[in-house]
Structure 1
């Protein structure tokens, strides 16, 4: 039976502070309060991205709790506190660096699940899938104003920030679902592989994410990958215009871009 004490499930002040920063930055972007709209967009995207990483890790931990690992509560994973993760560098720092450098949602993944406590291959697969599914759900929520046709009257800067945020969530979900050792996608299929195959693949797990980004440096692979991202975003009614200008605003240190007005544009 899954259980955790009230203290182990109490939302941490750190996470609440992140949500507060995101809320204030949303207000600043919406009202154009900041003298530098790009800086407000930067705060919104970064705080929102870290919040999504916390939800990603929480989804892993919560699913593991229901799967039989009762230790996740004592480890602090159910508090949404990013400081409780076993590898803050992998879960928070590196993803932020990649967001700042290239606008790519680097998969996180640093909660330690005691897999020997989990019984059943489906449970193991669901624990791994829960993280990227959280990113996918976050993307659906962020893009809701687009696919619900509720963007009329929304300030352009806020629209572009949402578009760029959606791009990060979609890239994180897709990258994480790749069946590459070290990523959640491999964790989904691993329980169904033979013991021999798993032992042969295990040494390559630490290098899986490096291999993925190495392949993304190949121009043909990079173009194909981002064409797929654009296709998903178009399905959610987010245009390349939205994501492009969102990323330009996000990089506020390069100066505020001269963004053409949306009026008269046809998508």
Structure 2
């Protein structure tokens, strides 16, 4: 009885996550109904809270697949409660990605939860655990873009379309960045179990810097252009107009002067 109760507590959804979810729901309603006096502020709060929810789901996906893969310690660490404050790297997982969205409008991948890899047996299980986080972003992006590629936008307010387009853009960028086979990112975690011992030993000293190298490379115009060209191609494939994503990004920064083409309400 005690063990069962303890396991239930380890998997009970955190009030912190529920509060963030409530903010997303209320601000999403405000955007949909154009209830807010400042539409841009409502979009900012909706996209930010939804982005944090997606980050929590990203980390939860890692933890849940690790649990089924053999790491029974993830529950005791609080990873199954969706509480962002329980993450090993709360700053990398939540704070830094949110700041990058505010400053640069890019979906930055966060720091992963700690997985006891010694408890996981089998290379495929290790790969699936690493891939689960980006897959959560992919599914979130599919949900956000569904009204676009299903041609189901009739009755969807313009401001809400803009918000969904920008939120989808963040999910796509986060998924693509995270799937890069660079040490420190989930993409490397997918391929790492299949590398030889010697190769892994040679790469290991550089693993802590891979994340920062990727961010630095994005400041190189040629790399930045190629990356965002790929993002734009994916967004078009998902049926999202460039104008919707652009206006969502501009309205998100409600403290700036809004382009006339994007003004709503």
TM-score bracket for this pair, using the shorter chain length: over 0.9
8 Å CA contact 1:160, 1:243 repeated in 2: yes
Residue 85 (structure 1) aligns with = 87
Question: What is the alpha-carbon distance in structure 1 between the residues aligned to residue 211 and residue 119 of structure 2?
Answer: 27
RMSD: 1.4
Closer/same/farther in 2, CA of residues 212 and 7 from structure 1, 3 Å limit: same
8 Å CA contact 2:141, 2:172 repeated in 1: yes
List alignment gaps of at least 5 residues for structure 2: none
**Paired residue secondary structure (1:70):** coil
Moved more, 209-218 or 162-171: 209-218
8 Å CA contact 2:247, 2:262 repeated in 1: no
Alignment of 1:117-136 (within 5 A): 117-136=119-138
1:162 to 161, 164, 177: 164
CA offset at residue 259 of structure 1? 2.5
**Paired residue secondary structure (2:261):** coil
CA offset at residue 131 of structure 1? 0.2
Moved more, 63-72 or 27-36: 27-36
Residue 104 (structure 2) aligns with = 102
8 Å CA contact 2:251, 2:262 repeated in 1: no
List alignment gaps of at least 5 residues for structure 1: 263-267
1:144 to 143, 146, 163: 146
Closer/same/farther in 2, CA of residues 150 and 168 from structure 1, 3 Å limit: same
CA offset at residue 210 of structure 1? 1.1
**1:116-138: per-residue Cα shift (whole Å, max 9, x none)?**
00000000000000000000000
TM-score normalized by structure 1? Answer: 0.95
1:73 to 63, 72, 75: 75
8 Å CA contact 1:37, 1:256 repeated in 2: no
8 Å CA contact 1:177, 1:183 repeated in 2: yes
Question: What is the alpha-carbon distance in structure 1 between the residues aligned to residue 250 and residue 150 of structure 2?
Answer: 25
8 Å CA contact 1:183, 1:209 repeated in 2: yes
CA offset at residue 260 of structure 1? 5.4
Moved over 4 A (4+): none
CA offset at residue 110 of structure 1? 2.9
CA offset at residue 213 of structure 1? 1.4
Residue 20 (structure 1) aligns with = 22
1:217 to 216, 219, 223: 219
**1:157-207: per-residue Cα shift (whole Å, max 9, x none)?**
110000000000000000000000000000000001111111111111111
8 Å CA contact 1:136, 1:173 repeated in 2: yes
**Paired residue secondary structure (1:11):** coil
Question: What is the alpha-carbon distance in structure 2 between the residues aligned to residue 169 and residue 239 of structure 1?
Answer: 16
8 Å CA contact 1:124, 1:188 repeated in 2: yes
Are 2:250 and 1:243 equivalent residues in the alignment? no
CA offset at residue 155 of structure 1? 1.1
